[in-house]
Structure 1
Amino acid sequence: MSEKLNIAFIQANLNWEDAEANRKLFSTEIEKISKEVDLIILPEMFTTGFSMNAKELAEETEGETLAWMQKWARRKSAAITGSVIITESSNFYNRLFFVFPDGSYKLYDKRHTFTLAKEDETYTAGKDRLLVNYKGWKICPLICYDLRFPVFARNTEDYDLLIYVANWPEKRVNAWDALLKARAIENMSYCVGLNRTGKDGDGYVYNGHSAVYDTLGNNLTDLDREEEFTAEIILEKSSQNEIRNKLKFLQDRDRFNLLDE
């Protein structure tokens, strides 16, 4: 169990629909991380960009990208997370992997597929939220459009860290900033939002704005929001628990169960 969690997150300009180039890109950036970190966070669809060309780009679950993540997790003795286009049983998924340092892993399939981009017509939506126990931290990793749906993210199980990996376009980045802050405040949890930069093959522009917010909605990062970077930050559980115990907002939360449609 660790009081502190040292995370690294990589905001990058993705190569459109080129998995090999993106794995090479992130290999270079991960290699540059000189300090010991506990968790490395990569963007949504980090091998391809936010593409609907799933038939041509999808990998099997235990395909080349998962093997690549396992290799780097072992090499850095750190967990790695990010989402990839996956095919399984004739369906396609926007699937997040959470890979532990020993190479074992857990999965989360994006629950809220982005209808505006017709993601729902290509990808099968997931049903279950993932909670990961790692080094004494309870982590809830979600994907992009999930950010707009606070009920699904509601902190009913006392998680310590909420993560959103994304391809969130510049034209709606004000919503990204506001909603990340809101999710941190309402759930009394650290909230990490990792977005990409650059322009994708469909002409959409992304300007980053990756950030880390604390329990009270304070932005803990002071970064050039639109540039590529690898940032490291140390999260402290005791300071978060101190605020939770003092204010006790979570104990007044509504109790409910999520039902499938």
Structure 2
Amino acid sequence: MKLALAQLQIEPADVAGNVARAETAIETAAARGVDLVALPELFNVGYFSFDLYARNAEGLHGKTLSRLSDAALENDVAVLAGSIVEDLGQTRAQTDAYTPAEDGLANTAVLFDAEGERQLVYRKHHLFGYESAETGLLTPGDRVPVADLGGFTIGVTTCYDLRFPELYRGLVDEGADMLLVPSAWPYPRVEHWQTLPRARAIENLSYVATINGSADFEDATLVGRSTVFDPWGTPVATTDDRPDIVYADVDPDEVARVRDEFPALDDRR
């Protein structure tokens, strides 16, 4: 599989422009022959634009996700729309298969296949409270789904989830061998951003791909550095903090080879 991580320029208060930049990145990556394009956390509103959450929230059939579903179909490429502010009440009213357990707002990532069909909906489990309004504004998710795509079983988590390794172990128990992590990780915690996903890859003998944005907010600047880690924890593709698209070839057979050579998962007690 050819994977692209779209480290987008996210402009606070420019929702229309941010979505347009996401569509352009999908088109650009698809022209390079990729199979899957992954976008950052809250790429449309910007994570730290808390005052924009409610007015830009939408259900799973809303305009942002509909546009990205169309982009996936038009460009014949799978897309991780990771993530938007979901209005759980709107989704419930649509009687969707991914009906939430509660109302409110959620930080929601959606995986579309190359035909624009939803394959996975993940609502962020661990809400960040440190210098953040997220815990007061959002409802945590209660499901940890996986989806089969391109020979992989894919799991999705979001940003702060990286600090909770039990979540990743649960995904591996469900068969996951590639973990996608849309994020809005800010300075100064660069070492955390590089160490935690590498540890998750090593622990779970899985690919881990982190997709950050490039943005300056009033009180935060994102570190960028979107990276693909292989099942040994080796970074195989990365970038700096500027807007970019990171490309990597990933192989499900490599996961099988590593797990066979070093079967640590079999030794769990």
Q: Structure 1 length as normaliser, TM-score?
A: 0.91
2:212 maps to 1:195 = yes
Could you say which residue in structure 1 is the equivalent of 2:127? 113
The sequence identity of aligned pairs, in percent, is 29
Q: Secondary structure at the match of 1:232?
A: strand
Could you say which residue in structure 2 is the equivalent of 1:87? 87
Could you say which residue in structure 2 is the equivalent of 1:46? 43
Could you say which residue in structure 1 is the equivalent of 2:174? 157
1-side partners of 2:18 and 2:35: how far apart? 22
State which of 138, 145, 152 in structure 2 corresponds to 1:130: 145
**Amino acid of the structure 2 residue aligned with 1:91:** G
Shift of 1:19: 1.9
Could you say which residue in structure 2 is the equivalent of 1:76? 75
**Amino acid of the structure 1 residue aligned with 2:113:** F
The one-character-per-residue Cα deviations of 1:104-145 (angstroms, maximum 9, x if unpaired) are: 212111000111113111000001112111133100111101
1:1-261 matched pairs, under 5 angstroms? 5-33=1-29, 34-50=31-47, 51-53=49-51, 54-81=53-80, 82-89=82-89, 90-105=103-118, 106-116=120-130, 117-154=132-169, 155-200=172-217, 202-221=218-237, 223-254=238-269
Indicate if the aligned counterparts of 2:230 and 2:236 stay in contact, CA closer than 8 A: yes
2-side partners of 1:161 and 1:98: how far apart? 13
1-side partners of 2:121 and 2:68: how far apart? 13
2-side partners of 1:120 and 1:79: how far apart? 30
**Amino acid of the structure 2 residue aligned with 1:20:** A
**Amino acid of the structure 2 residue aligned with 1:39:** L
Q: Secondary structure at the match of 1:128?
A: coil
Q: State which drifts further: 208-217 or 82-91.
A: 82-91
The one-character-per-residue Cα deviations of 1:22-75 (angstroms, maximum 9, x if unpaired) are: 111122222222222111000000101103232222122211111111111101
Indicate if the aligned counterparts of 2:227 and 2:246 stay in contact, CA closer than 8 A: no
Report the number of matched residues.
248
Q: Secondary structure at the match of 1:203?
A: coil
The one-character-per-residue Cα deviations of 1:149-202 (angstroms, maximum 9, x if unpaired) are: 0001112233110111000001112101000110000000011011111212x3
Shift of 1:210: 0.9
In the alignment, structure 2 segments of 5+ residues that lack a partner are 90-102
2-side partners of 1:78 and 1:55: how far apart? 30
What's the RMSD between the two structures over aligned residues? 1.4
In the alignment, structure 1 segments of 5+ residues that lack a partner are 255-261
Shift of 1:240: 2.2
Shift of 1:239: 2.2
1-side partners of 2:239 and 2:54: how far apart? 36
**Amino acid of the structure 1 residue aligned with 2:127:** T
**Amino acid of the structure 2 residue aligned with 1:159:** A
Shift of 1:227: 1.6
Could you say which residue in structure 2 is the equivalent of 1:259? none
Shift of 1:91: 0.6
**Amino acid of the structure 2 residue aligned with 1:17:** A
2-side partners of 1:29 and 1:214: how far apart? 23
Indicate if the aligned counterparts of 1:17 and 1:57 stay in contact, CA closer than 8 A: no
Indicate if the aligned counterparts of 2:3 and 2:249 stay in contact, CA closer than 8 A: yes
2-side partners of 1:224 and 1:108: how far apart? 26
